[in-house]
């Protein structure tokens, strides 16, 4: 049976390959060297110079593995090594220290990587670079290498750049950057996921001449390059180099070194993401606080969580006062009812967002008009947030109200002007017809009597002059009567719109040589509607005569349900409504129709004529049947 090695001759690595850490091994070795078969826990703590609680923990672990027995009495706990514990120590003593060092190295590397991972997970207070380089220095010492470095190559980059590097004292530092063109073969191999293990330049394939020349100039005996397998935006490359044969076994630890490389890549990318998120949050906060519009974040119940200064200034509250308040407390009661319907649809997912103009109540009681954009921000596994962006439109609302008021006053003025114009037309028409027209007719009769008297007396020369005057008087009388009818149609008043339109079309056709086509319309409308449509027809036909050069005009008056429609279409030159300025005639037609709730539609294009459509809604009971004149 081999003799058990004394505790003083067992190295930590000899114990480590048996699965014992140095403290466990020291405790076992001490226990086995005692002259008595067993000792107390207190004595052990004194002999190995460890705290009592630490010894208790070590004994608990060794007892679970069956390496010691403990016996508890009323006074103390006695400890005894088991045969299995003695066997472990005997086996450790049979392994030479050099062999133990070689066998322990993978375990030590894995322990180092485990500790490195733990430090990375809690690296908030300490800079990431310090943690990585500390772990690299430990690995460098453990491997017995000269240089340990970490490079990164981004997807579109033509080089790999050194980020972290450690080296043994008295050796050169790794190059700060290596171009792809310097070692093209090696780069391709690394990008395909392969690890390079070189024990001199001659290990490079013959076709990789550039790579071989580069490594020969570097005077490296052993070189290991390991690519990462977990990077998303870049390739991390961990390099281990040695200029002596003592590190020739580095290639045996590719698994552990690859794990270390991936940890570095993950940590660096996590740091980049954290920085990006921090920068993004900082930009958001800057935007949030400096935004000229009010921004508020609410929970799904409408309670305010965060508000920016613009929102506070708009309502006259501080952020502390607003936090926790509900928007319904700040809104006008009438607007709350309207918005509650939209808010329910938003929370139910029926709409993604909504915009509403509403009134807020300031702290001082004044109303503030705002245009509010509301949207829902859904978070995975968390309650959704409501984002509200508020724009103060109080001045805009006041200006708009003033414009509406001015527009209403303008419409009232236009309405009154049209009424006055129609009244003046009727008055002038009546004066022309009843006064001037009658006097001209009497004057023509007297001229006719004078002409007859001169003929009877044989004054033929004077008779001819009076006859010419008589003809001029008759023509002037007709012109006065026509002007009277244009100003106010008697047929429109007494017979109806159909007869008035027929008379108007006949007049235009005779005086301007335009073919007129008037459809049938055997119905009567209320007087104000007939007057409006007649004036629209008058204005439209005047425009045809002045501008269109048309040879044919169709006028149609029809009814469909409770909609009366007057259409005037010509075959003239037409125009582009989008570029042409609306003249006073079109404005007058629109205003007349607006006064009775109607609408004017204008359709035209160059070379295709023009169509004017006047539409008016009329209750069925207001339409009566009539006979076309």
Tell me the C-alpha distance between 354 and 297, whole Å. Answer: 15
The two structure tokens encoding residue 612 = 């004017």
For residues 447 and 473, the answer to whether their CB atoms sit within 8 Å is yes
With CA atoms as reference, report the closest residue to 85 among 105, 100, 70, 103: 70
Question: Quick one: average pLDDT of 446-473?
Answer: 83
Question: Quick one: average pLDDT of 535-542?
Answer: 85
With CA atoms as reference, report the closest residue to 204 among 213, 217, 192: 213
Who wins on pLDDT, 418 or 103? 418
Does the domain at 7-95 match CATH 3.30.70.260? Answer given as no
Tell me the C-alpha distance between 378 and 385, whole Å. Answer: 6
Grade residue 627 by pLDDT with cuts at 50, 70 and 90: very low
CB atoms within 10 A of CB 597: 11
User: Max Cα separation, the chain?
Assistant: 184
Phi–psi pair at 614, nearest 5 degrees: -110, 125
DSSP structural state of residue 34:
S
Secondary element (H or E) of residue 363: none
With CA atoms as reference, report the closest residue to 293 among 380, 370, 199, 231: 370
| pLDDT value at residue 327 | 86
Decide if pLDDT at 480 tops 80: no
Angle at 496 between CA 491 and CA 502, to 5 degrees: 70
Decide if pLDDT at 17 tops 80: no
The 3-class SS string of 563-592 reads EEEEEEEECCCCCCCCCCCCCHHHHHHHHH
- Give tens-digit pLDDT for 465-478: 888 888 888 888 77
- Give tens-digit pLDDT for 406-440: 887 777 777 777 777 777 777 776 677 667 767 77
| pLDDT value at residue 136 | 93
| pLDDT value at residue 317 | 93
User: One fold for both 104-274 and 291-392?
Assistant: yes
| pLDDT value at residue 318 | 93
| pLDDT value at residue 75 | 65
- Give tens-digit pLDDT for 252-297: 788 889 999 999 998 888 888 888 888 888 888 888 888 889 999 9
Phi–psi pair at 235, nearest 5 degrees: -105, 120
Grade residue 162 by pLDDT with cuts at 50, 70 and 90: very high
Grade residue 356 by pLDDT with cuts at 50, 70 and 90: very high
Decide if pLDDT at 312 tops 90: yes
Decide if pLDDT at 314 tops 60: yes
Grade residue 3 by pLDDT with cuts at 50, 70 and 90: very low
Decide if pLDDT at 605 tops 80: yes
Average pLDDT, the chain: 81
Candidate ranges 62-71, 148-157, 485-494; pick with highest mean pLDDT: 148-157
Does the domain at 497-625 match CATH 3.30.565.10? Answer given as yes
What pTM was computed for the model? Answer: 0.50
The CATH number of 291-392 is which of 1.10.290.10, 3.30.450.20, 3.30.9.10, 3.40.50.2300? 3.30.450.20
| pLDDT value at residue 8 | 43
Grade residue 311 by pLDDT with cuts at 50, 70 and 90: very high
C-alpha pair distances (Å), 299 with each of 169, 257, 313, 377: 60, 48, 22, 10
Burial class (CB in 10 A: 0-12, 13-18, 19+), 354: middle
Tell me the C-alpha distance between 537 and 568, whole Å. Answer: 7
The CATH number of 104-274 is which of 3.30.450.40, 3.40.50.300, 3.90.180.10, 3.50.50.60? 3.30.450.40
The two structure tokens encoding residue 585 = 């005639």
For residues 19 and 100, the answer to whether their CB atoms sit within 8 Å is no
- Share of residues in the chain with pLDDT > 90 (%): 17
Taking the CA atoms of 359, 383, 271 and 118 in sequence, report the sign of the dihedral they define: positive
Decide if pLDDT at 628 tops 50: no
| pLDDT value at residue 585 | 76
Grade residue 76 by pLDDT with cuts at 50, 70 and 90: low
Beta strand spans in 18-108 (E): 39-40, 68-72, 77-81
Q: What is the C-alpha radius of gyration for the chain, rounded to an integer number of angstroms? A: 53
Decide if pLDDT at 313 tops 90: yes
- Share of residues in the chain with pLDDT > 70 (%): 83
Grade residue 87 by pLDDT with cuts at 50, 70 and 90: confident
Grade residue 97 by pLDDT with cuts at 50, 70 and 90: low
Decide if pLDDT at 604 tops 60: yes
**Domain coordinates of the chain in residue numbers?**
7-95, 104-274, 291-392, 497-625
Taking the CA atoms of 478, 481, 487 and 493 in sequence, report the sign of the dihedral they define: negative
């Amino acid at each position: 049976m081999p003799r058990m090695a004394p505790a003083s001759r067992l190295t930590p690595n000899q114990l480590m390959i048996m699965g014992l850490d140095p403290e466990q091994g020291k405790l076992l070795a001490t226990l086995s060297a005692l002259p008595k078969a067993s000792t107390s826990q207190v004595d052990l703590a004194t002999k190995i110079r460890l705290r009592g609680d630490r010894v208790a923990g070590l004994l608990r672990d060794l007892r679970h593995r069956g390496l010691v027995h403990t016996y508890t009495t009323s006074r103390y706990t006695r400890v005894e090594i088991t045969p299995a514990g003695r066997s472990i120590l005997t086996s450790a003593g049979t392994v030479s220290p050099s062999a133990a060092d070689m066998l322990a190295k993978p375990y030590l590397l894995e322990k180092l990587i485990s500790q490195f991972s733990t430090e990375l997970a809690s690296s908030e207070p300490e800079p990431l670079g310090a943690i990585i380089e500390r772990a690299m220095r430990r690995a460098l010492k453990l491997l017995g290498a000269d240089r340990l470095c970490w490079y990164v190559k981004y997807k579109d980059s033509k080089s790999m750049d050194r980020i972290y590097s450690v080296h043994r004292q008295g050796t050169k530092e790794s190059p700060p950057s290596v171009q792809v063109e310097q070692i093209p073969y090696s780069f391709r191999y690394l990008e395909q996921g392969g690890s390079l293990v070189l024990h001199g330049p001659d290990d490079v394939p013959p076709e990789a001449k550039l790579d071989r020349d580069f490594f020969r100039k570097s005077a490296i005996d052993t070189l290991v390059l390991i690519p990462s397998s977990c990077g998303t935006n870049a390739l991390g490359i961990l390099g281990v180099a040695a200029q002596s044969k003592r590190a020739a076994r580095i290639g045996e630890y590719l698994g552990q070194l690859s794990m270390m490389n991936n940890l570095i890549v993950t940590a660096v990318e996590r740091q980049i993401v954290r920085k990006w998120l921090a920068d993004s949050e900082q930009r958001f906060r800057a935007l949030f606080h400096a935004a000229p519009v009010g921004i508020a974040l609410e929970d799904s119940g409408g309670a305010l969580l965060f508000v920016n200064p613009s929102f506070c200034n708009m309502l006259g509250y501080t952020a502390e006062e607003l936090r926790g308040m509900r928007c319904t407390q700040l809104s006008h009661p009438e607007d709350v009812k309207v918005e509650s319907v939209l808010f329910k649809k938003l929370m139910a997912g029926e709409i993604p967002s909504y915009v509403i103009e509403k009134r807020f109540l300031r702290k001082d009681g004044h109303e503030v008009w705002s245009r509010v954009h509301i949207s829902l921000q859904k978070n995975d596994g968390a309650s959704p947030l409501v984002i509200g962006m508020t724009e103060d439109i109080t001045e805009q609302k006041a200006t708009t109200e003033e414009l509406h008021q001015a527009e209403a006053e303008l419409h009232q003025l236009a309405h009154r002007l049209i009424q006055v114009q129609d009244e003046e037309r009727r008055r002038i028409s009546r004066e022309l017809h009843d006064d001037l027209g009658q006097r001209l007719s009497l004057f023509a009769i007297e001229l006719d009597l004078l002409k007859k008297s001169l003929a009877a007396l044989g004054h033929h020369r004077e008779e001819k002059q009076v006859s010419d005057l008589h003809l001029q008087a008759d023509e002037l009388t007709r012109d006065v009567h026509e002007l009277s009818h244009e100003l106010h149609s008697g047929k429109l008043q007494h017979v109806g719109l159909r007869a008035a339109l027929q008379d108007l079309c006949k007049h235009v056709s005779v005086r301007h040589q335009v073919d007129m086509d008037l459809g049938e319309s055997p119905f009567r409308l209320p007087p104000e509607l007939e007057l409006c449509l007649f004036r629209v027809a008058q204005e439209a036909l005047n425009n045809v005569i002045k501008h269109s050069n048309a040879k044919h005009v169709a006028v149609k008056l029809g009814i469909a349900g409770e909609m009366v429609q007057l259409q005037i279409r010509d075959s003239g030159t037409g125009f582009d409504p989008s570029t042409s300025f609306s003249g006073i005639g079109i404005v007058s037609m629109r205003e007349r129709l607006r006064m009775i709730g109607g609408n004017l539609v204008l359709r035209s294009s160059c070379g295709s004529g023009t169509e004017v459509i006047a539409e008016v809604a009329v209750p069925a009971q207001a339409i009566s049947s009539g006979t076309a004149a």
